[in-house]
Structure 1
Amino acid sequence: MASGETLDAVRESAQTINDVTTYACVGTVALITLDSPPVNALGSAVRQGLMAAFARAAADPEAHAVVLACAGRTFIAGADIREFDAPDPDAPDLLEVLAQIDACPKPTVAAIHGTALGGGLETALCCHTRVATPSAKVGLPEVALGLLPGAGGTQRLPRIVGAQTALEMMVFGKPVIASRAHEIGLIDAIIEGDLLEGAIAFAENAAQSGPPPVPVRERSEGLSLPHDAELFARFRADNARAFKGYQAPENIVRAVEAAVTLPFEAGMRREAELFQELFTSRQSAALRYLFFAERQTARVPDLPADTPRRPIAQVGVIGAGTMGRGIAMNFLSAGIPVTLVEQDEAALERGVAAIRRTYEISLKKGKLTQAKLDACMERLQSTLNMADLGEADLVIEAVFEKLALKQEIFARLDGIARPGAILATNTSFLDINAIAAATSRPGDVIGLHFFSPANVMRLLEVVRASATSPDVVATAMGLARTIAKIPVLSGVCDGFIANRMMTPRMDAAQALILEGPLPWEVDQAIVDYGFAMGPFAMLDLVGLDVIGWDPATSTSSTVTQVLCETGRWGQKRQAGFYDYDEMRRPTPSPVTEALVREFQSRAETPPRPFSDEELIERLLLPVVNEGARVLEEGIALRASDIDVALVMGYGWPPATGGPVFWADTLGLGNVIAGLEAIGETPAPLLRRLAEADATLHTWPEAA
């Protein structure tokens, strides 16, 4: 077996195949190493290198076995998605490369560390065996892009692990850890020590004493496991809710059905048909667009890459309510100590207890260890004294949405926080410039708008006020990644990006129920479009009494006001727009229906039925229109940021790409006509882009 010193010498003397691939012999084992930072993606250079290196290994008389390994922090982490729509015509496609690996007559071993995902795992499946470090993860997550594994994954994986496990891995797309992969036969050995040494020893043993290598495509142990029609029918039925609105899961099921019923080559042809059907679909185009859009949000054009960032080692959170404690958990979970401040002892104790309870729920679900829970709680300090925030690097205010209250808190913080500390507000709508003006250091003030529940929702709107310093913006954008959030930069306006854009949907919903539809009919149209719930179910969930209703000024002039006046505040009262049983399951309410019909009878025009298409246009086209205004005003940096914000913050169906991408699939001319038909004035940006035959989702490039 090669020693570490020997391997170092081999690396230094390795032959260069191309810029990202080297070839060396370690005794009788050919070592092929890929080094294409950051994640060894299967771009054109990697594919060319693999093709040439395996051809050399097959022909090398000194090589009796082959090890495929990767330098850097990971094995092949997937395909280069940028090439999906613009493949390199001079490079072999992935299927050609994998056919070359698959046909190698010598034992081949994939040495996996980090992650082997998508095309990376499909590459490893073309090797005869796979070994991995204990920390490695493997998976086929193409479903997240609206695709299926299109390089043999749907055909090879079931031949090892069986149809049921293959379906679970591909339909849900979650990577599995090395130990689990070893249990199901996907990984042949876990290497505890040096991965390369272990892989080379494994390959030597296979060459010397093992039987002739059998390609995965010829293996059948997985096919001996249950795979009858009942299995597939049950899988579809059990996951019907998760499948709803998505094409890729069903195509994956069909591909696995082909794997267990057809010869390998016929199954590969079926996989190719099903992959192409998805690849050319609008849904996959939307999901691939979101994949890149999500990675674009952290790029701020007017912030140089070398903009300094302030160190954040201690965080203060003011307010131990639902938002405050959720915000605190983000930092605790990321290893950053938090001081939680409240003005009332009982409220503080409730907040701390709720944080512990939430962690304990994760513990029971196996998402958290006891040691991690204990460590998170040890990082939490609670106090009734705001002066205890004097050493914090970042203080986040999360109190009631009252401007005067927030200004008072920031004025106090101005005299408490150390110089250079970042002062952030979690306001959802209020003017951050007015909040910053309450301090003598407006450059240190920024908005960090978390979405509820703050410890779960991935969106973080970073709101740059007029005086916010560049290094504060850079720090906030980077910190979002530290706490596993997707940052979207916004300017100051009422509601920022997400809340501002979704306000017209709620306004439209309230107007619609005066014209004929009932609340549950409006909700159903939205759910059929792809949202998890409609606007009225959402109001019931949040609580009708906490969205601006004031009993002192209520005038019975709207349906919502009357519901509030009669104590129908939503789920917490088992009555709102809907009636709820003890499990909070909703049913249409005859009380609400009678109330809505009464308001409809007072309207100037008689109520009429609306088609689902009409409802969607009334509800969602105004959202698109508001998005165009947000872009024109410079509130959002780019149109794709808007889509990310609405998908991550409001659950806009990812399969549509978000409101802006969806508008382009309708055609901007149709959007404009639809807006005019419902009495809305189209934003000037929409007209300019439509006249130029340009798209909105690529703005500002399309402008």
Structure 2
Amino acid sequence: MNVNTQITDGVLVVVSDNPPVNALSYAVRSGLLAAIETARTDPAVKAVVIACDGRTFHAGADITEFGKPPQAPSLPDLIEEIEALDKPVVAALHGTTLGGGLEVALGAHYRIAAAGSKLGLPEVKLGLLPGAGGTQRLPRLVGVEAALGMIAKGDPISAETAQDLGLVDKLAAPDALRDSAIALAQEMIGQPIPRTGARTDKLSTDRDAFDAFAKANARRFRGLEAPQACIEAVKAATETSLEDGLKTERALFTQLMTGDQSAALRHLFFAERAAAKIDDVPKDTPRIPVTKVGVIGGGTMGGGITMNFLSAGVPVTLVEREQDALDRGVATIRKNYEASAAKGRLTEQQVEQAMALLTPTLEMEALSDCDLVIEAVFELMKIKKEVFSRLDSIVKPGAILATNTSYLNVDEIAATTSRPESVVGLHFFSPANIMKLLEIVRGAKTSDAVLATAMDLSRKIGKVAVVSGVCDGFIGNRMLAQRQGEANSLILEGAKPWDVDRVLVKFGLPMGPFQMADLAGLDIGWDPDTTASSTVREILCEEGRRGQKTQAGFYDYDANRRGVPSAHVEEVIAQFAEKAGYARREITDQEILERLLYPMVNEGAKILDEGIAQRASDIDVVWVYGYGWPSYRGGPMFWADQIGAKTVLEGLERHADRLAEGFEISARLRQTAETGGAFN
């Protein structure tokens, strides 16, 4: 049984048990409706408590039912029955009361929450809005401005904040929640029923508040349809009756549900969970205990990696070669933590607790008792091999040795040790303390235990991990190389760097390839001793134009690093193109988009064919969390599914004469196009 009932001193206690998160499935909705009907018709029932067993109150609708034919009772109908009951209904909230779960609670007449629990309406993160009355009832309880924040942003709030807002009537100790709810229900027997939908006292607001909210969050909402729909639905609550507002909410929900953006965001929801599974590694694979971590290299990447573990409460020994570099690294870590504290994200006590876990040293031997050692040294195979050879003689047997390489062959690095089964790639993305993606690179001899442990650790430090096989650039950078190569060709053929960047930003990426190059520094990988003016980028470096840090790269920059197109760079490109024999021409935005993105999809198909990625959705996760691919487009492989593999294939064939020399269309892409199939 998903729903059980019991009468306790005149109170019908309705308890759902649908692990793991008490999703409001058809069976649960049916059980709740039957319980409400019992309460309505049984004279022995004077009040109702709606509660859940397990770790949480209802944490949302059953997402597996999305896109399928609806089964009665619908959630909106169930909530209306709860609200209409002429006996007091108390919702007892614990864990994470989210989405449809909070909408059920809004339909109840009273809400009591366990201290420390969370409440929220996160539907917007799936490209939707609360579709069971949340946009109409929440502003009636907490006011328009608080409701806009919760609904259009989708971030949960604490039970304590919810009480301050008027969303929760009372707090209870977690172990006394059920009893407290029953006591509250008994206390309210015979009192007037406070139906949320009937309230209007908090709905008055300045009409400009909606525009101001949208403007204040314009950057966060860029390109997204759901936040604007949320704003419209809440606005309807202030302008119409509950009945009409619910109709508006339902129409907007249906529009979003059938749209491409919600399909993409729901795809990502499942893709992230699928990425955590390694198909050929048994669930019961033993894990390696990791209680102490070593990091080699205190630069930007090493410092960021270190912070991940310190923030998770794991002691870190940080090794550098020189004292100045070590001091700079430690100072930067502290500076980053203190910046977070200044923004209210951490307390000073948390900053000091994290720093207390850090042991800086110049001695590699200090890593001997670490359970995991991650090198973050210069991206040169010779240096990596030297580090791993030395680690092999220092670090205790059974410890994991990890390389943070973003391109190099992990198997070649592992071969320098006597324990290649203990070696794995942990490719963090910069800044490593912020970016969510972690590519876990599985070497030919990496053991299941090492792989499973790395996946568990990724969750502990708040990362979204994707397993990759060994190849040049792994999943993300291998595909990025295709895009960058085409970008470089496009500017020689006639497109301007800022046109290329503009097209990708319009598509939804945070920046284009030339903006990204300027931000990172054009001199990454550039050697002044061997430079030969062989590319536009080399010429710019030779001229001292090395990106934002020199106030000149592909763009010209002011003191605040604001970039504008450079006439000088246009001239450099034109002269280089003329010498190289290019016939310059006008290039449309559509061609730019196709030339940049279609080769990426083609490379993704090759990655799947070679078994580098386990599944197409893993590639999507890499690009959304590591490279800024717009989440509402679902990732490059999902996007290709939406526009059709045939469209991609035809585009590549149309541009074949201009694509990089030796470009080959993937057999997987061709087959998918010809059969009308999909990557996902």
2:672 to 689, 694, 703: 689
Q: How does 1:267-416 map to 2 (within 5 A)?
A: 267-416=245-394
What is the distance in 1 between the residues matched to 2:227 and 2:406?
A: 36
> Which residue of 2 is the match for residue 13 of structure 1?
none
Q: Comparing 604-613 with 558-567, which one deviates more in the overlay? A: 604-613
Specify the SS of the correspondent of 1:273: helix
Q: Is 2:48–2:88's contact at 8 Å kept on the other side of the alignment? A: yes
> Which residue of 2 is the match for residue 118 of structure 1?
99
What is the distance in 2 between the residues matched to 1:185 and 1:197?
A: 22
What is the distance in 1 between the residues matched to 2:40 and 2:347?
A: 47
Shift in Å, 1:244: 2.0
Shift in Å, 1:198: 1.7
2:551 to 574, 585, 595: 574
> Which residue of 2 is the match for residue 16 of structure 1?
none
Letter of the 1:207 counterpart: I
- Cα deviation, 1:227-260, whole Å, max 9, x if unaligned, reads x432222222222332221111111111111111
Shift in Å, 1:692: 2.1
1:207 aligns with 2:217: no
> Which residue of 2 is the match for residue 671 of structure 1?
648
What is the distance in 2 between the residues matched to 1:428 and 1:128?
A: 55
Q: Is 1:156–1:216's contact at 8 Å kept on the other side of the alignment? A: yes
Specify the SS of the correspondent of 1:222: coil
Shift in Å, 1:612: 1.4
> Which residue of 2 is the match for residue 12 of structure 1?
none
Shift in Å, 1:359: 0.7
What is the distance in 2 between the residues matched to 1:117 and 1:192?
A: 20
2:591 to 614, 626, 640: 614
> Which residue of 2 is the match for residue 132 of structure 1?
113
What is the distance in 1 between the residues matched to 2:254 and 2:100?
A: 16
What is the distance in 1 between the residues matched to 2:218 and 2:293?
A: 43
What is the distance in 2 between the residues matched to 1:138 and 1:53?
A: 24
1:595 aligns with 2:576: no
Gaps of 5+ in 2: 657-662
- Cα deviation, 1:630-689, whole Å, max 9, x if unaligned, reads 011110000000000011110111111110011111111111010111115320001112
> Which residue of 2 is the match for residue 41 of structure 1?
23
- Cα deviation, 1:562-619, whole Å, max 9, x if unaligned, reads 1100111111111111111111111112221221222233353432222211110011
Letter of the 2:606 counterpart: R
1:77 aligns with 2:59: yes
> Which residue of 2 is the match for residue 60 of structure 1?
42
Letter of the 2:61 counterpart: A
Letter of the 2:19 counterpart: P
Specify the SS of the correspondent of 1:513: helix
- Cα deviation, 1:96-133, whole Å, max 9, x if unaligned, reads 22122122111111111111111111110000111112
Q: Is 2:492–2:582's contact at 8 Å kept on the other side of the alignment? A: no
> Which residue of 2 is the match for residue 8 of structure 1?
none
1:460 to 435, 438, 445: 438
Letter of the 1:71 counterpart: D
What is the distance in 2 between the residues matched to 1:101 and 1:255?
A: 22
What is the distance in 2 between the residues matched to 1:415 and 1:53?
A: 67
Aligned CA-pair RMSD: 1.3
What is the distance in 2 between the residues matched to 1:25 and 1:659?
A: 54
Q: Is 2:556–2:564's contact at 8 Å kept on the other side of the alignment? A: yes
1:29 aligns with 2:3: no
Q: Is 1:118–1:141's contact at 8 Å kept on the other side of the alignment? A: yes
Q: Is 1:515–1:603's contact at 8 Å kept on the other side of the alignment? A: no
What is the distance in 2 between the residues matched to 1:465 and 1:427?
A: 13
What is the distance in 1 between the residues matched to 2:42 and 2:355?
A: 59
Specify the SS of the correspondent of 2:55: coil
What is the distance in 1 between the residues matched to 2:129 and 2:585?
A: 44
- Cα deviation, 1:360-390, whole Å, max 9, x if unaligned, reads 1111111112222111111111111111111
Q: Is 1:57–1:63's contact at 8 Å kept on the other side of the alignment? A: yes
Shift in Å, 1:88: 6.3
What is the distance in 1 between the residues matched to 2:9 and 2:655?
A: 76
What is the distance in 1 between the residues matched to 2:559 and 2:244?
A: 53
Q: Is 1:491–1:634's contact at 8 Å kept on the other side of the alignment? A: yes
> Which residue of 1 is the match for residue 660 of structure 2?
none
> Which residue of 2 is the match for residue 243 of structure 1?
221
Letter of the 1:213 counterpart: I
After TM superposition, the score normalised by the length of structure 2 is: 0.97
Letter of the 2:66 counterpart: F
Specify the SS of the correspondent of 1:424: strand
- Cα deviation, 1:303-360, whole Å, max 9, x if unaligned, reads 1111111111111111111111111111111111111111111111111111111111
Q: Is 2:11–2:182's contact at 8 Å kept on the other side of the alignment? A: yes
Specify the SS of the correspondent of 1:504: helix
Q: Is 2:102–2:120's contact at 8 Å kept on the other side of the alignment? A: yes
What is the distance in 2 between the residues matched to 1:283 and 1:230?
A: 27
> Which residue of 1 is the match for residue 659 of structure 2?
none
Q: How does 1:163-242 map to 2 (within 5 A)?
A: 163-192=144-173, 194-208=176-190, 211-224=191-204, 226=205, 228-242=206-220
Specify the SS of the correspondent of 2:135: helix
Q: Is 1:675–1:681's contact at 8 Å kept on the other side of the alignment? A: no
Specify the SS of the correspondent of 2:189: helix
Specify the SS of the correspondent of 2:59: coil
Aligned length: 673
What is the distance in 1 between the residues matched to 2:478 and 2:405?
A: 13
What is the distance in 2 between the residues matched to 1:329 and 1:28?
A: 54
> Which residue of 2 is the match for residue 148 of structure 1?
129
Shift in Å, 1:471: 0.8
Q: Comparing 680-689 with 659-668, which one deviates more in the overlay? A: 680-689
What is the distance in 1 between the residues matched to 2:346 and 2:142?
A: 27
1:417 to 367, 375, 395: 395
Shift in Å, 1:87: 4.8
- Cα deviation, 1:182-201, whole Å, max 9, x if unaligned, reads 11111111224611122122
What is the distance in 1 between the residues matched to 2:534 and 2:385?
A: 33
Q: Is 1:20–1:45's contact at 8 Å kept on the other side of the alignment? A: yes
> Which residue of 2 is the match for residue 15 of structure 1?
none
Q: Is 1:407–1:435's contact at 8 Å kept on the other side of the alignment? A: yes
> Which residue of 1 is the match for residue 409 of structure 2?
431
1:562 aligns with 2:544: no
What is the distance in 2 between the residues matched to 1:239 and 1:457?
A: 21
- Cα deviation, 1:169-218, whole Å, max 9, x if unaligned, reads 1111111111211111111112246111221222111115xx31121110
Q: Comparing 117-126 with 25-34, which one deviates more in the overlay? A: 25-34
1:656 aligns with 2:633: yes
Gaps of 5+ in 1: 1-18, 699-703
Q: Is 1:44–1:88's contact at 8 Å kept on the other side of the alignment? A: no
What is the distance in 1 between the residues matched to 2:580 and 2:424?
A: 45
After TM superposition, the score normalised by the length of structure 1 is: 0.94
What is the distance in 2 between the residues matched to 1:237 and 1:365?
A: 22
Q: Comparing 108-117 with 591-600, which one deviates more in the overlay? A: 591-600
What is the distance in 2 between the residues matched to 1:214 and 1:188?
A: 12
Q: How does 1:528-543 map to 2 (within 5 A)?
A: 528-543=506-521
1:104 to 77, 85, 89: 85
Letter of the 1:173 counterpart: G
What is the distance in 2 between the residues matched to 1:221 and 1:65?
A: 26
What is the distance in 2 between the residues matched to 1:465 and 1:391?
A: 24
Letter of the 2:610 counterpart: E
- Cα deviation, 1:251-271, whole Å, max 9, x if unaligned, reads 111111111101111111111
Q: Is 2:646–2:676's contact at 8 Å kept on the other side of the alignment? A: no
